[in-house]
Amino acid sequence: MHIENKNIFMAYVSKKEVKKGGSSASKHHESGVSAITYSKDEPDLLEFLWKETAKEKLFNRLLGCAYGQALGDAYGLSTEFETRQNVDYNYPDRSKLIPFPDYVLTGHSRRWTRGDWTDDTDQWILILETLTETHNDEPNEVVFAKKLKNWIRNGYPMLGDHGGMGLIVSDK
């Protein structure tokens, strides 16, 4: 949550009044009645939480793109760099989806853990990171180059990578 929104949220929550009195936690759970009361002039908490600012909408859309990129990349690894003939041979029944993550391993796909995405998504993440560190709405190619160099050497260690794959490694 954005710091500005977090501050608004905390200010909103701090305006709530907690009922003082004799109801125990067990009675509260049994009755289903909340211990928090609201002033009539306050907006509903759920309404507040679901309200999106322009930045939040953009963030949600980028997050959706990130998930789509990673999932599509991981699924596409099952046929990446394969000829049409190999794909037809490995998956002869076109009425069925390619089993994921239990696809047929190929010379290319066996270099990744099943279900992992490829260097395409890694580099896409590098681009997004670079854009978030941009000042004056101008992407900085030097920042990207440094990130790329670090990725080549280390990959994403927090994901178990030991170096970026794709720039130097080739099937051919």
Cα distance between residue 167 and residue 111, in whole Å: 14
Which distant-in-sequence residues (6+ apart) come within 8 Å of 25 by Cβ?
none
Residue pair 80/108 in contact by the 8 Å Cβ criterion: yes
Residue pair 144/125 in contact by the 8 Å Cβ criterion: no
Cα distance between residue 169 and residue 152, in whole Å: 11
Residue pair 93/46 in contact by the 8 Å Cβ criterion: no
Residue pair 147/130 in contact by the 8 Å Cβ criterion: yes
What residue numbers does the annotated binding site for Mg(2+) cover? 118-120
Tell me phi and psi for residue 37, to 5 degrees: -110, 155
What residue numbers does the annotated binding site cover? 118-120
